[in-house]
Structures are given as structure tokens and as C-alpha cells.
Amino acid sequence: MTLRAPANGIEIAYDTFGSPGARPLLLITGLGCQLIQWDERFCALLADRGHHVVRFDNRDSGESTHLGEAGTPAPDGSGEVPYLLDDMADDAAGLLDALGWDTAHVVGLSMGGMIAQSLAIRHPHRVRSLTSIMSTPSPRAALLTDPDVLLPAFTPDRESAIRRALDNCAAVGSPGYPFDREWNAEIAGLGYDRSYDPAGTARQVTAIMASGDRAPLLKELAVPALVLHGEDDPLVPLPAGIATADAIPGARLITFPGMGHDLPAELWPSFVDAIDELTTSADSGR
């Protein structure tokens, strides 16, 4: 069941897995994605390891607040920037407040990793541990300016939107693992039904491009950190993951051959093991 909470002047949609008394774990999803992109089976694995998992829709996606009054940014990025990744990080901090969580372990995927980094920078005492997955400290370290891959087209119908989503997923997915076309089609359809808003995704792209380089501020963090990255990621290449790990003092970097810009189910046990090891270690040192 999707729940809603006020946060940072907007409304955030979220749901939960696991026991409320378990280790709090906040999952932050990526560009144009919705909370459903965190597969329920993956969330259940994390919950089984003793985490209280919360996944949520970022602003301008899913059932959270959409800033339609801000319009659609120009393709060249010119014009007014309606918000930055810092604002999205403050949304996440507001959700922690609404959940009654003073602190949480934070896991961010792609743009969600950028938001998680900003959350740790802006609210360091709220973050127990930081896991950045297939992300980057700077848009300059990634291929984040390709509109053919990043932006969903303004399509006339549901089936066209699903086909476009499948094409995008296949283009950036993991060459070393099977492409789960059935699951991706199901999620694309559910996403369309929940909220189809290409203009919202365009505003998120603008936020990424306008937010600059976080590396200098990441170097000041004192938080247990993990960086997971695919060695064959065509959208946010491996050097971006290396740059993230290099920027965060003491961060552990784990790379995966054959992994692109998605989370192959075959690697879930490795991801869960690494995240669980980090959160357990971080809590034992508190």
C-alpha cells in the first residue's frame, strides 16, 4: 500500500518492507523512475536481513508532488532551473522526519545516488551509512546529456510509452546478464498508470546538470560508505563510480563485470550481502 507524507513543502509517496523495529534503510531511486523500480523481491531480501526498508517516489515522479507549474525545461538546459539535487535531498530528509527516523542507512541508485550523496553532505548526522550505486559525484563524469536515452518521449499512448521504456532499458542494461523484458514491460506499464510525466523527468535532468560537482564536499564526509558499479555501464561509466569512491574517505568500491545501468537479479545476493555488511558494521560502531 502506498502511503503519503508531507516533506519539505511537498508530498512524498512511499511504501515499506520489514519490521518497524529493524535497521532503517531508505532507498532513493533514479532519473524518471518510481519507487516500483526497486523490485519488491530485492526489497524483501533487504528486509529479511533485518532492515526496515522504505522506498519512495522523488518529486516529479510517481505519486509524489509534480511541479507542473514550472513547465518543461528547454532541451539545451537554458532557462530557469526549478530545483536542484539539494532540494531533492531535503525532500528525503523531510521524509525521515515524517517517518520518525532521526537517522537511516541510505541507498541511492543512479540519480538517487547523487541525491544520497547530497543528503549526506547537507544532513550528515541523519545518515548512518551511504551506499551509492551506479552513480557519480558530477554530471561531467557521466553520459547524462543524451536525451535519446534519458528522456521518455511524449508518446500518444500507453503501448508506445512501454515500447520506448523497453528500448531505453535495453540500451543501457547489463550486457553480461539476460534482459528481463517481461519485468521491465510490467514496470513500465505500472509506471505509466501511476504517473506519466516526461516534463517532470526533464526537470530532474535539469536538476542534475545544474547541481555541479559534489566531490570537494564528499571529501569532508565521515560516514561509512559503499560504492557499487557495473564495469559495463554505458550511461554512467565505471570511472564515475571510481570517482565517487575516491571522493568519499574510506569508501569501499565493488565493481561487477557484465553489469550495465541496471540491477540484474543474478547480482542481488551480492548487493544485499555488501549492503548488509555495511549497515551492520556502521551500527556496531555507533
Which tens digit of pLDDT belongs to each residue from 18-61? 999 999 999 999 999 999 999 999 999 999 999 999 999 999 99
**Cβ distance 63 to 193 under 8 Å?**
no
Confidence of residue 72 (pLDDT cuts 50, 70, 90): confident
Q: Pick from 78-87, 111-120, 277-286 the range whose average pLDDT is largest.
A: 111-120
What DSSP character marks residue 29? Answer: -
Joined together, the cell numbers standing for residue 9 give 513543502
| pLDDT at res. 228 | 98
In sequence order, what are the residues at sequence separation of 6 or more whose Cβ sits closer than 8 angstroms to the Cβ of residue 123?
89, 93
3-state class of 265 per DSSP?
Answer: helix
Q: Residue 55's closest CA among 137, 8, 116, 102? A: 116
Residue with cell 526496515: 52
| pLDDT at res. 153 | 56
Confidence of residue 80 (pLDDT cuts 50, 70, 90): confident
d(CA 143, CA 209): 11
Please indicate whether residue 74 or residue 94 has the higher confidence score (pLDDT): 94
Joined together, the cell numbers standing for residue 96 give 525521515
Q: Residue 27's closest CA among 109, 135, 128? A: 109
**Residue 145: exposure state from Cβ atoms within 10 A (0-12, 13-18, ≥19):** middle
- Phi, psi angle pair for 215, to nearest 5°: -55, -45
| pLDDT at res. 146 | 47
pLDDT in tens, 187-226: 999 999 999 999 999 899 899 989 989 999 999 999 999 9
- Phi, psi angle pair for 14, to nearest 5°: -155, 165
Q: Residue 28's closest CA among 74, 96, 81? A: 96
pLDDT in tens, 241-272: 999 999 999 999 999 999 999 999 999 999 99
pLDDT in tens, 111-156: 999 999 999 999 999 999 999 999 999 987 665 444 455 555 567 7
Look up the pTM and report it: 0.95
Has residue 167 got a pLDDT over 80? Answer: yes
Has residue 165 got a pLDDT over 60? Answer: yes
Mean pLDDT (whole number) for 55-68: 97
- Phi, psi angle pair for 34, to nearest 5°: -120, 170
- Phi, psi angle pair for 182, to nearest 5°: -65, -45
**Cβ distance 226 to 132 under 8 Å?**
yes
d(CA 185, CA 144): 23
Q: Residue 74's closest CA among 210, 166, 235? A: 210
What DSSP character marks residue 267? Answer: G
User: With pLDDT > 70 as the criterion, what percentage of the chain qualifies?
Assistant: 93
Q: How far is CA 209 from the centre of its chain?
A: 16
Q: Residue 131's closest CA among 115, 152, 151? A: 115
Q: What string of H, E and C letters represents the secondary structure of 43-101?
A: HHHHHHCCEEEEEECCCCCCCCCCCHHHCCCCCCCCCCCCCCHHHHHHHHHHHHHHHCC
**Cβ distance 214 to 137 under 8 Å?**
yes
| pLDDT at res. 140 | 75
**Cβ distance 111 to 135 under 8 Å?**
yes
